[in-house]
Amino acid sequence: MKRFILAFIAAYIFLFVWGWLINGVLLKDIYAQTPNLWRTQTEMLSFFHWILIGQALIVFAFVMLYVAGFADGGVAAGIRLGILLEIAAIGMRMGVYAVQPFPGKLLIYASIGGLIEMIITGAIVGGIYKPAASGKAVS
């Protein structure tokens, strides 16, 4: 349990910082091209807790997935899980692109950022979480 909580906290801190770096700094100008799609700065601040809850949910479900089916594989298995989840998420993002008029380059940059994010998240979780002595097989 202690390792689970440690993995969760470490991955959450990374996800928060990375999310701010990608969306709040690097892609800021691209977001500014479609202001009608986004809340205003002050409005976003009043909804900030939803971002924290959303990131916590992503990390919690990620660690649960890793523990339930990948925990014996270490860092490599964590990275594999991150890659599989993110490529499926890119598919979801392509679906959103079909219905929302945001720039195509946002789809590309956000997907690259997301892939790096999930690879590092997987490495962090795989590096920190260690299963109990007996190897757990998935079924």
Partner 1 sequence: MEGAHHEVPTLLRPETDFKSHFAWLVLGHLVMAFFFTLLCARFVPAGGARAGATLGILVGLVYAGPHLISFAVQPLTLKILYGWIAGAVIQFAIAGAIVGAIYRPVAEQIMYVKERSR
User: Which residues from 62-121 bind partner 1, rule CB under 8 A?
Assistant: 62, 64-65, 68-74, 76-77, 80-81, 84-85, 87-101
Residue 66 has which token pair?
Answer: 């890793």
* Closer Cβ to partner 1, 2 or 49, answer by number: 49
Shortest Å distance, C-beta 37 to partner 1: 6
Single-letter code of the amino acid located at 9: I
Query: Does 35 participate in binding partner 1 (rule CB under 8 A)?
Result: no
Query: Does 17 participate in binding partner 1 (rule CB under 8 A)?
Result: no
Here the contacts of 17-23 (C-beta below 8 Å, separation 24 or greater) are 18/113, 18/116, 18/117, 18/120, 19/51, 19/55, 19/117, 22/109, 22/110, 22/113, 22/117
Query: Does 21 participate in binding partner 1 (rule CB under 8 A)?
Result: no
